[in-house]
């Protein structure tokens, strides 16, 4: 990507421009983190349900 302030070529993973110090707004990683957190929460709930069912029948 390119720095919008000084037009220096910087890596896509960079959060701050090494030349002028501009901080880049990066929204997609935050959304991905929220989605994976929901998946993890759903997996935990499913596991808890399985344990309850197993305890009930055993
Ligand atoms: Zn810059």
Measure the CA–CA gap between 31 and 18, rounded to whole angstroms: 25
Q: How far is CA 4 from CA 12, 48, 52, in A?
A: 13, 48, 54
pLDDT score of 4: 92
H helix or E strand, kind and range, residue 5: none
At 8 the pLDDT is 95
With a cut of 60, say whether residue 29 has pLDDT above it: no
CB 10 within 8 A of CB 1: yes
Distance 31 CA to ligand 1 centre (A): 25
Spacing, Cα 47 to ligand 1 middle (Å): 48
17 CA to centre of ligand 1 in angstroms: 5
Rounded CA Rg of the chain: 21
What is the value of pTM for the model shown?
Answer: 0.43
């Amino acid at each position: 990507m390119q720095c919008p302030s000084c037009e220096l070529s910087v890596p896509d993973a960079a959060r701050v421009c090494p030349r002028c110090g501009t901080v880049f707004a990066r929204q997609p990683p935050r959304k991905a983190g929220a989605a994976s957190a929901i998946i993890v929460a759903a997996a935990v709930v499913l596991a808890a349900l399985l344990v309850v069912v197993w305890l009930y029948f055993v």
